[in-house]
Structure 1
């Protein structure tokens, strides 16, 4: 659509951010009103509608801008309608599919639930590899029209297969709006704030020390103990959720500036083949697929010989390791960009495979963090809030993509005061991407320290 590099990068991150942020909306619908199966079907159809709109625009020349020109307002409006219909559909589907799948299993078996989320993530990554290889080849050799038609056909078949076995699924009935219950608990706790805290115990006889002010909501029997526990659990998840946002901001660079780097590097593989920049995302996906096999093998062997107290494969430790690796990845990314710029000054293009380090590290970090979050939020959440709670993992991804757009804008504003924007030019070689990567490294490490603080107190 002929947008400048920075604007196109922000459009991608905004679209991805919206798709992930809307998982909260999908989770709310699923927990409150209709079952996870029907929520997935509803949002799946909406995603299909967005694909159809984009396919129509790609097929009609009158709906596309002329070469070298940006789209008109009507063309841009149609693009955004298609994109954000897809984003809404993706958000609702992501919020419900993994929770619906985990509902089919024995929730008391923690190892089984953890393995399910690992293999669920494996399937997502497999789809990503197909998208970044075969679908990219179709787009570059057969055109966007063929690519959209193929996606529409495959997704329609997938929805039909999913719906065909509806009678075999274990469906949990929604328990009403969890946000309403949380709001009532907070309101009654605030109203009774001057009263002395009652001594209350959970059904297992444990007296909780976290967020004890919520216990005041039970005074005068206005709120049940179960509602207080539900609220307490959800609020305790929020600091863990917030601590992973910057990590997802770093991962967002794989879909934006890392791809732009690949476009201006030596992409030749042999004499006649050039690696498409969009296919560079295959590297972290392959890393994810390989690491899931390795992780499952090591976790199974470790669990046999170690007590649960000493288990290093718990979701909360897994998330922390992923956050730490992300800062290492951004150091590597900054060093590679410095090497690329220095080589270009000598009229040499370095190989695109120098980007493999940052792709590898961020891919492994993403597997550890996102897989750990899905497992942790589903396992810790109350039964009535599992869709919304697992949606927090995707919502952190959304906030990371949005934060990426904000940081790009802030970096440009601040660096402009020094006389040269870090990311303001259309030519990547005139920008200072390595400084932006260094900034992300420092910020992510601060978020990691914040995570350690809250994880120790969970």
Structure 2
């Protein structure tokens, strides 16, 4: 009788323990007091909404400036089209490359939340300088209404303000998105599915900011003043920074774990030292630490068959077998998880390179597409004319609709049809977006040919540009969202800010490539007597440039398709979460 009572007590105690485990989040994150987070009180949508709010504000500012910057440079600073386009591309390039530094520092030292706060304040300082350059008399372009010779001081302050924004973006963008995704537990089925939706709704908020930036903000710039627009952006960002700070009690935080590059170098050194050893036929013989010792470092990775040379770093030699708790030198023996983390990064390099030509196409939307719009008939009514940069809103609208339809209709259908949690593999989604970018370049070339045929381009409606913007917007819903998810999900867990920075670097390098391509083609085509990039669009041949981009991207898609076909995705050991019906172990390839 006593034995039965004891067994019953143990059963009750075990049930209570399981319930307690289900109520806590054991994914190596902590709450604002450094404790294990309570699932019901932290994370998921209630936390991510605070984070999405500040993303909306930042994108409102960025696109409100970026899409109309070429207009400011040509009309206020009187730069020619080629110089202005290159300056815009350089700024966009720096803005999307600096996040590599910010992402690395956040993952290694500061943590994501602290970096977002610091970077947001730097961003706010840049917007404040931009506002000052429009209101302080000695800093304004000039004191007259019509400004033929703008002050050099104003030009210097303008670019100082812009590059302050670049530095702010460098800490803001890679950390904010990864911090938002950190609010969902990968080992909990429902939270894992919600994380997949998070990337779609993140881009929904991004597109809302983009849409208002290229419509409301651009309209204020063109019809009221650049100063009022800058002031609106400054105040909006200040309000959302406060909002973001107010949500700190419900966030889940990841503790910085030191430089992620050193362990990878250790794997490479260990593999070289053991290069003469044969690989074991059974990967279970490779060295790995127990789960109990690894819990604070994130999830364990299972073995993959790619890059088998690196497996040698995890081979246990006779003198390395555990004895008396003795520590192994990481320069001689690496864990299987560390080996697989290095494989992940090396596997990403070809995908990163083959993503670049696609972003060269995207770089045309805020530069040459906007200048095309400026030469065309933009009248909607006798009293209202669309600002050139506002035509960009068509891409934002198409992306908004595409993201919503994809998340709410297409993904559920594909999940039932394929059994894939994501609906379709990440790389397939990116590839579809690349194809649509090629179609957009074909359409852009045809429209530009038609525009050049008009004796007066003003007779041609600006809505002829709608198809290329809409197709590019739909393509972004697949390629850009897919790249965000790919670089966040497929990097090691300790490098997720850096992973988002790698995604941004694709856009940045694509912008630099666009500028370099313009310079090279300008030099080459001048020899034939007519450069593709003249002082204005009437003396240019942008249609040839668009045809070339379409052809280069077709070739690139062939290479990308070959890489995607045999790609090996992240292979994660799934942890058991009480109350979760997902599998405990499995290859992420089925869901990626």
TM-score range, shorter chain: over 0.9
CA-CA distance at 1:298 after TM superposition: 2.5
Question: Secondary structure in 2 aligned to 1:243?
Answer: helix
Tell me which residue corresponds to 1:63: 139
Tell whether the 8 Å contact from 1:299 to 1:313 is kept in structure 2 after alignment: no
CA-CA distance at 1:88 after TM superposition: 1.3
Question: Secondary structure in 1 aligned to 2:363?
Answer: helix
Tell me which residue corresponds to 2:175: 96
CA gap 1:416/1:130 in 2 versus in 1, 3 angstroms: same
Tell me which residue corresponds to 2:555: 446
Partners in 1 of 2:313 and 2:137 — Cα distance? Answer: 61
Q: Which of these residues, 195, 200, 216, is aligned with residue 118 of structure 1?
A: 200
Q: Does 1:36 align with 2:147?
A: no
Partners in 2 of 1:135 and 1:150 — Cα distance? Answer: 8
Partners in 2 of 1:222 and 1:125 — Cα distance? Answer: 47
Please identify the structure whose Cα radius of gyration is greater: 2
Tell me which residue corresponds to 1:153: 235
Aligned positions of 1:320-359 closer than 5 A: 320-344=431-455, 349-359=459-469
Partners in 1 of 2:380 and 2:458 — Cα distance? Answer: 16
CA-CA distance at 1:142 after TM superposition: 2.6
Tell me which residue corresponds to 2:416: 305
Q: Identify which range, 88-97 or 352-361, moves more after superposition.
A: 88-97
Aligned positions of 1:297-446 closer than 5 A: 297-303=408-414, 305-308=416-419, 313-344=424-455, 349-423=459-533, 425-446=534-555
CA-CA distance at 1:42 after TM superposition: 0.9
Tell me which residue corresponds to 2:33: none
Q: Which of these residues, 219, 227, 250, is aligned with residue 338 of structure 2?
A: 227
Q: Which of these residues, 309, 313, 338, is aligned with residue 217 of structure 1?
A: 313
Partners in 2 of 1:78 and 1:445 — Cα distance? Answer: 42
* 1:245-292 superposed Cα distances (whole Å, 9 cap, x missing partner): 111111111100000000001111122211110101100000011111
Partners in 2 of 1:273 and 1:65 — Cα distance? Answer: 27
Question: Secondary structure in 1 aligned to 2:365?
Answer: helix
Tell me which residue corresponds to 1:279: 390
Tell me which residue corresponds to 1:180: 262
Q: Does 1:208 align with 2:304?
A: yes
Partners in 2 of 1:408 and 1:304 — Cα distance? Answer: 43
CA-CA distance at 1:238 after TM superposition: 2.1
* 1:99-142 superposed Cα distances (whole Å, 9 cap, x missing partner): 11111112244432221000000001100111111111222233
Partners in 2 of 1:244 and 1:127 — Cα distance? Answer: 25
TM-score (norm 2): 0.73
Tell whether the 8 Å contact from 2:411 to 2:422 is kept in structure 1 after alignment: no
CA-CA distance at 1:296 after TM superposition: 1.3
Q: Identify which range, 194-203 or 356-365, moves more after superposition.
A: 194-203
CA-CA distance at 1:348 after TM superposition: 6.2
Question: Secondary structure in 2 aligned to 1:165?
Answer: helix
Query: How well do the aligned residues superpose, as a CA RMSD in angstroms?
Result: 2.1
Partners in 2 of 1:63 and 1:182 — Cα distance? Answer: 49
Partners in 2 of 1:114 and 1:8 — Cα distance? Answer: 38
Question: Secondary structure in 1 aligned to 2:484?
Answer: helix
TM-score (norm 1): 0.94
Tell whether the 8 Å contact from 1:332 to 1:358 is kept in structure 2 after alignment: yes
CA-CA distance at 1:168 after TM superposition: 1.3
Tell whether the 8 Å contact from 1:3 to 1:70 is kept in structure 2 after alignment: no
Tell whether the 8 Å contact from 2:415 to 2:421 is kept in structure 1 after alignment: no
Tell me which residue corresponds to 1:288: 399
Tell me which residue corresponds to 1:46: 122
Partners in 2 of 1:71 and 1:251 — Cα distance? Answer: 33
Looking at secondary structure, tell me which structure has more helix per residue.
1
Tell whether the 8 Å contact from 2:94 to 2:508 is kept in structure 1 after alignment: yes
Partners in 1 of 2:334 and 2:385 — Cα distance? Answer: 64
Tell me which residue corresponds to 2:245: 163
CA gap 1:198/1:30 in 2 versus in 1, 3 angstroms: farther
Tell me which residue corresponds to 2:347: 236
Partners in 2 of 1:55 and 1:194 — Cα distance? Answer: 64
Tell whether the 8 Å contact from 2:131 to 2:231 is kept in structure 1 after alignment: yes
Partners in 2 of 1:112 and 1:377 — Cα distance? Answer: 18
CA-CA distance at 1:65 after TM superposition: 4.4
Partners in 1 of 2:244 and 2:383 — Cα distance? Answer: 42
Partners in 2 of 1:309 and 1:133 — Cα distance? Answer: 38
CA gap 1:309/1:122 in 2 versus in 1, 3 angstroms: closer
Partners in 1 of 2:246 and 2:478 — Cα distance? Answer: 33
CA gap 1:429/1:191 in 2 versus in 1, 3 angstroms: farther
CA gap 1:311/1:159 in 2 versus in 1, 3 angstroms: closer
Tell whether the 8 Å contact from 2:124 to 2:238 is kept in structure 1 after alignment: yes
Partners in 2 of 1:178 and 1:70 — Cα distance? Answer: 47
Question: Secondary structure in 2 aligned to 1:344?
Answer: coil
Question: Secondary structure in 1 aligned to 2:254?
Answer: coil
